[in-house]
Structure 1
Amino acid sequence: MMNARAVLLSAVASGQGKTTVTAALARKLSRAGHRVAVFKTGPDFIDPMLLGVACGASVDVLDLWMCTETQCRALLAAAAASHDYILIEGVMGLYDGLPSSADLARRFGVPVLAVLDVSAMAQTALALARGLRDHGPVPWAGIIANRVASAGHAAMISGAASADLAVLGHLPRQSTSLPERHLGLHLPSDLPDLEARLDALADALHLDDAILAALPPLAADDIAAPAVPPLLAGKRIAIARDAAFAFIYPANLRTLSAMGAELAFFSPLADQPLPEHCDAVWLPGGYPELHAAQLAAGRRWQTSLRDAVARGLPLWAECGGMMALAQTLDDGHGTRHAMAGILPGHIRMGSKLAGLGSQAWHHAAGELRGHTFHYSQFDTDLVPQQHCQRKDGRDGGEAVYRHGSVQASYFHAYFASQPQAAAALFLGTP
């Protein structure tokens, strides 16, 4: 029986504090003994990691285009069957993007909980909330006022509420918050005091439990994730995973396992060589530029990769993984670091976004969907074997390179969108 109550936390724009409030609410509900599942709307790696620490479980993304509607339904159904609350953090503003967070809320009947930065307003917050609710319209849960200055400020906002525009709670302005950098928030591994920060946020969050508990249960379809063929049965895939290569969707690991692959992890930052008896390698994205000196000093991981490629092992390298395979990496601070030297070319970090948005790779085995988000450039004489296509159908997507047994791109693939194409990456087939 499904009794989970779900809310989608959204806002008028980015920067309103959605991640902070979602993390605070997840930690508060979890500490109260509730089983809490958290999702993130849209392509994202970092926010789900932080939210996963807040709720104590892995966090999947929900994206009607990248993940497909069927995958989203299956994820929500599984969560609703085993949790008391489902929190979905939106992306950008409520109606931004195609599909938007509002589209997701309407498609699955999830009420919107608006996170509003009220640091420069009071009663006007209710007018903004009414506009957010009625523009779509969307199913509605209420408001959480963020960055509240005082108890009096909170009282002014709650005093303007009505039965149809309820204020579920507020979060006072915080002297410390979750820090950011060029690709978003810091990784949990970079924040040794993250647990304390999350507990402090949960303590600071004022919540009307009665209003939250009165929300109707989510009407989730009782469906399972689509079955996948055992295309990788008997294959052992080496996967880089550490602070430099941390951008891994949980769904990607599940998809590889469901296709029969054995997953073996290693850490280039710890200079670990590839695990023994591997049939293929995956270097996911991450922050190699922040750890370039340490990666450059590692000889065992570089040598083992070069040996694997020389033996013809299929290697899929995406974004940060591709950067680590280049000859050098310019970290943007005037230092050039030697990388594995498997791909001819050089990486230059920049101060502006060089690629952003959802894209599709029209692979021979089917359309593999994903996204791109990077600040660096790859200067290479390699001729792309193909280019991805932007979500809106325009050309100009990321290049996909093939060099021997290596395939590499700035494109981050969501394997569950097309398992056959994902399997081909590790079988060495075109």
Structure 2
Amino acid sequence: MTRLALAIPGSGPDPAAVGIALLASMAEQGLRVQHFRSWACPIGTRAIGALTGLPGRHLDAWLMPPEVCRSVFARGSRSADLAIIEGTIETIPRPLAASSYEESCTSTCGRPGALMPLAEALDAPIVAAISCDWLRQFHLPHLPARVEAVILDGLCDRREFPDMRRMVELVLGRPVLGALPALPEVRAALQDAPRDCPLDPDCVAALVSGFRQFSDLDALRHLACSRPLPPGFETDALVPTGPRFKVAYAHDEAFGDYFPDTLETLEALGAELVEFSPLSDGDLPPGVDLVMIGCGFPDRFAEELSANACLIAALRAWVCRGRPIFAEGGGCAYLGRLMRLGDRNVPGVGVFPFDAALLPNPEPPAPVSRALIRSGLLGEAGTVLRGYHSNRWQLLPAPEPDDCPARSGYLTAEHDVCFRRNAIGSLIHLHLAAMPQLVSGFAGLGRHGQTAPLFGGP
């Protein structure tokens, strides 16, 4: 578990240019490199997988307590030669000044998943990317004590490199192990690149070529190998209990955006996983205990989804029998009574008592905390949930006369988490690795064939 934390600027493309250059350069040396973002996003990017051959993962100190971070990291990096955790420390309070773990996890600009708590939980050495603009103005940024080396970012003239390196090493007392040229056209292309497509190979080649001119890859690898694992680091807190259970999860062109380690968490808790397609399958897989429908883009396939009457009937029958479903984001919208898509309305599955309206100018997923107003599988009433809110949809109550308030309704005052019997639909993407009790509850419900609703009153 050779590991390195890379501190990047707090703004710019995701992934950052210096991160792409480091990942691709290490991969070109024949290393299997596993990338971890330090903030979670259920809608992933294909850029990392195309660079390294391993799908990008995430760690998020805002969602995951330290023991879960270590467990997720251990599982995710077992097959890699090098793990790189990328995040920002620019707006994070210094560790000694932070009044709590919570305070050290959240940046003042509102983006959770800071790098510093992760580096501390994993005992990972930190390399900070410093903008050359600061150095041209003779302004050296403050670096936390844990930062052990520097990469110069945005070098305009190769002749600047010796003087800038000398300035950093004399004033900040850290070695400069590399630099990335400015390459303004490449950076502009990265800023505009779509998240769901691989990066332009010419852009990647230019970044690698520029980075390798000034960087000591062997020194970076040596730094990544410089610390042993903390005692008990590889102990996995998610240990299967009881008999195995079977989970059917939606995966096709319309659905399939899950947190990268969600399925691994299920397997660690004893799940057998099987895919199904709401677009093309006429029934749910046989013998399953839990159905999951993750985020995606049902609005792009609304008519096809609505025309699959056989699967819709199977989902309705599943819920009527009291069997468990867990749906998030687009999956939650699909299970409502209607999908309102601008100038057209398309029927949904009809499980939950709402219409899902697609917002015209959606924002990226945002971190939220919600208090439960009912007890159930998600926790007791008053329990605070953390997750990332899907800002593509709004749930509009659309009850029918025969709806029983004891068997369907909302679990939050904000009307963004809904239930019907033992089905849960949420616009908040929850992290199952930090909520093993939820999956264990679903598993027990499915194994025992329980059909009574598990939700109490306010």
TM bucket normalised to smaller: 0.7 to 0.9
What is aligned with 1:414?
431
Match for 2:87: what amino acid? G
Q: SS at the partner of 2:352? A: coil
What is aligned with 1:34?
31
Match for 1:63: what amino acid? D
Q: Structure 1's 125 and 140: CA in aligned 2 closer, same or farther, altered over 3 A?
A: farther
C-alpha offsets along residues 234-275 of structure 1, whole Å, 9 cap, x if unaligned? 432210013432221243212222222221111224456422
What is aligned with 1:220?
229
2:350 and 2:123 map into 1 onto residues whose CA distance is 50
Alignment partner for residue 55 of structure 1, among 52, 55, 59? Answer: 52
Q: TM-score, normalised by structure 2?
A: 0.74
What is aligned with 1:345?
354
Trace 1:307-322 onto structure 2 (pairs within 5 A).
Answer: 307-322=317-332
1:272 and 1:49 map into 2 onto residues whose CA distance is 30
Report the alpha carbon displacement of residue 338 of structure 1 after superposing the two structures with TM: 2.7
1:292 and 1:155 map into 2 onto residues whose CA distance is 58
Report the alpha carbon displacement of residue 321 of structure 1 after superposing the two structures with TM: 0.8
Trace 1:290-301 onto structure 2 (pairs within 5 A).
Answer: 290-301=300-311
In structure 1, stretches of 5+ residues that fail to align are 388-395
Trace 1:138-217 onto structure 2 (pairs within 5 A).
Answer: 138-146=146-154, 151=158, 160-162=167-169, 164-165=173-174, 166=176, 168-171=178-181, 172-173=183-184, 174=186, 176-177=189-190, 179=192, 186-188=195-197, 191=198, 198=204, 201-203=207-209, 205-206=211-212, 207-215=215-223, 217=226
1:157 and 1:242 map into 2 onto residues whose CA distance is 50
What is aligned with 1:127?
139
What is aligned with 1:393?
none
Report the alpha carbon displacement of residue 194 of structure 1 after superposing the two structures with TM: 6.2
Asked whether 1:386 is paired with 2:423, we answer no
Asked whether 1:235 is paired with 2:245, we answer yes
Q: Structure 1's 44 and 318: CA in aligned 2 closer, same or farther, altered over 3 A?
A: same
> Do 1:271 and 1:295's aligned partners in 2 also have CA atoms closer than 8 Å?
no
2:44 and 2:318 map into 1 onto residues whose CA distance is 33
1:44 and 1:385 map into 2 onto residues whose CA distance is 24
What is aligned with 1:113?
127
C-alpha offsets along residues 353-407 of structure 1, whole Å, 9 cap, x if unaligned? 49721436766565665332323211014574422xxxxxxxx666432123421
Q: Structure 1's 80 and 329: CA in aligned 2 closer, same or farther, altered over 3 A?
A: closer
> Do 1:271 and 1:299's aligned partners in 2 also have CA atoms closer than 8 Å?
no
1:48 and 1:57 map into 2 onto residues whose CA distance is 12
What is aligned with 1:371?
388
Query: What's the % identity of the aligned pairs?
Result: 24
Q: TM-score, normalised by structure 1?
A: 0.79
Q: Structure 1's 213 and 263: CA in aligned 2 closer, same or farther, altered over 3 A?
A: closer
1:176 and 1:24 map into 2 onto residues whose CA distance is 14
Q: SS at the partner of 1:295? A: helix
Report the alpha carbon displacement of residue 15 of structure 1 after superposing the two structures with TM: 1.8
C-alpha offsets along residues 324-343 of structure 1, whole Å, 9 cap, x if unaligned? 112222334x3333322322
2:125 and 2:352 map into 1 onto residues whose CA distance is 48
What is aligned with 2:299?
289
Alignment partner for residue 74 of structure 1, among 71, 76, 79? Answer: 71
Q: SS at the partner of 1:218? A: coil
Counting matched residue pairs gives 403
Match for 1:228: what amino acid? V
> Do 1:236 and 1:261's aligned partners in 2 also have CA atoms closer than 8 Å?
yes
Q: SS at the partner of 2:301? A: helix
C-alpha offsets along residues 32-81 of structure 1, whole Å, 9 cap, x if unaligned? 11232221112223446532342222443222342221121234455676
1:355 and 1:33 map into 2 onto residues whose CA distance is 35
Match for 2:286: what amino acid? E
Report the alpha carbon displacement of residue 420 of structure 1 after superposing the two structures with TM: 2.0
Q: SS at the partner of 1:371? A: strand
Q: Please give the root-mean-square deviation of Cα atoms over the aligned residues, in Å.
A: 3.5
Q: Structure 1's 355 and 16: CA in aligned 2 closer, same or farther, altered over 3 A?
A: closer
2:191 and 2:162 map into 1 onto residues whose CA distance is 26
